[in-house]
Amino acid sequence: MTDLTQLGIKPLRDGVAAGEFTAREVAEAFNAAVADASALNAFIVTTPDHALDAASKVDADRAAGKALGPMAGVPIGMKDLFCTQGVQTTAASHILEGFVPRYESTVSQKLWDAGAGMLGKLNLDQFAMGSSNETSHFGNVSSPWRRTGTNAPMSPGGSSGGSSAAVAARIAPAATGTDTGGSIRQPAAFTGICGIKPTYGRCSRWGVVAFASSLDQAGPMARSVEDCAIMLGAMAGFDPKDATSLKMDVPDWAAGLDGNLAGKTIGIPREYRMEGTDAAILDSWERGKQWLRDAGATIVDISLPHTKYALPAYYIIAPAEASSNLARYDGVRYGLRDLPDGAGLQDMYAETREAGFGDEVKRRILIGTYVLSAGFYDAYYTQAQKVRALVARDFEQAFAQCDLILAPTTPTASFPLGENSEDPLAMYLNDVFAVPASLAGLPAMSVPAMQNEGGLPLGLQLVGRPFDEQGVLNAGLAIEQRAGFSAQPDKWWC
């Protein structure tokens, strides 16, 4: 039999539907792969029974002649920001350790309704705050990739590092991610997989632990553009429980995939040619332009003049919203409670938050509280929101000249764990190419392009107009078809 763990969403779903193998066989194969890959530390909690139960239901439905869902027979990893009924949800933080929700997030419920099963809850940077997956209370996630000539553990990116590592290592065919300022796209680029952040509001935020509510957006991470299109179709849709949810029909993005870009114009932002960007990244960008020309597109230069202000604006807005969102974790209703003998209520608040939050989370709460405080609100937060509006206007004006934008996903390839962890600014710069699309709420995708001299994957980013996920996916398919990226990491963890 074919090694089932080498198959992605579409071949697994279609194989189950055709009777080539059972959903239970698929679940058993991936459960075994997860168990063998504990060295990656990609999962906080494993749920083999959930995967098997979902598979048994799919097999029973097929035997009864019932219609199968678009994710039928596909077990996935669930980022541990999504609340899962009866299964611990921690956001990779000590302050939520032991919290077991009594409800299901909208996105995860949609995936279960579509026939998917859950292999487990995936590790991440604590509260999605990080770019390397080194801030988790449950330990670092290690990328399945190694730089040629060294065994140094590499970063899988962040915050969705557990998701990217699991998909790249072939221990999950796909996984959910969340993207606040690049947390789907950057780890996808670091590990040689595909990941798409849809238009803000496409996927419900209900039941997703909040970081920055005006930026957070769920999306799929998978091995191919088509698999991302299938999974996004299952995840997306209007949710009355989320006030920011888009009341729009969900297109059949997978059926609409077309790598022919004749008549399309692709913009190349001159401001993304930044000092310090790796030469290999710039080379991949040049190749991407040629691939899109080969697909029929016209390449034009565009300007996004406020790009240089996007990152500092993001690191005011996101911490400000985090400061507000994380105020609920105080030891009263759920999660950790640290109550020393003789302590009062204020002491309990302080001790619980001191013990429960990691250093990066505390840093961002302090920044956010500062920029929202009296005397500084107008100087920082109000100004950052004005910059955000200018960044969005830049994109609007650019899309008068082009249909899509092509840029690097990251300024460098993956780096060794620990290399940047003591320098927050260096870590924040990982998101310099990803943040602008997040501030504007635009759909954006990373697709693997090539490997550098060290054998590490490099990704290209496509940004589209609001609601044009189809255009982004089509351009991603054009790159995927021409890049022919098929490299896999050596299974050093087995």
Q: Cα 37 to chain center, whole Å?
A: 21
Q: Which of 108, 143, 183, 245 is catalytic?
A: 183
79 is catalytic: yes
Distance CA 136, CA 125 (A): 5
Please compute, for residue 353, the number of CA atoms within 13 A of its CA located in the half-sphere on the CB side. Answer: 19
Catalytic site residue from 79, 110, 197, 264: 79
Q: Respond yes or no: is residue 159 known to be catalytic.
A: yes
Catalytic option among 108, 159, 224, 323: 159
| Residue 362, CA distances (Å) to 90, 307, 311 in order | 16, 27, 20
Residue 158 makes CB contacts below 8 A (sequence gap 6+) with 124, 125, 130, 131, 132, 133, 134, 135, 183, 186, 187
Q: How far is CA 416 from CA 136, 189, 241, 288, in A?
A: 16, 15, 41, 26
Residue of 205, 197, 212, 213 lying closest to 240 (CA atoms): 205
Q: Just list the catalytic residues.
A: 79, 159, 183
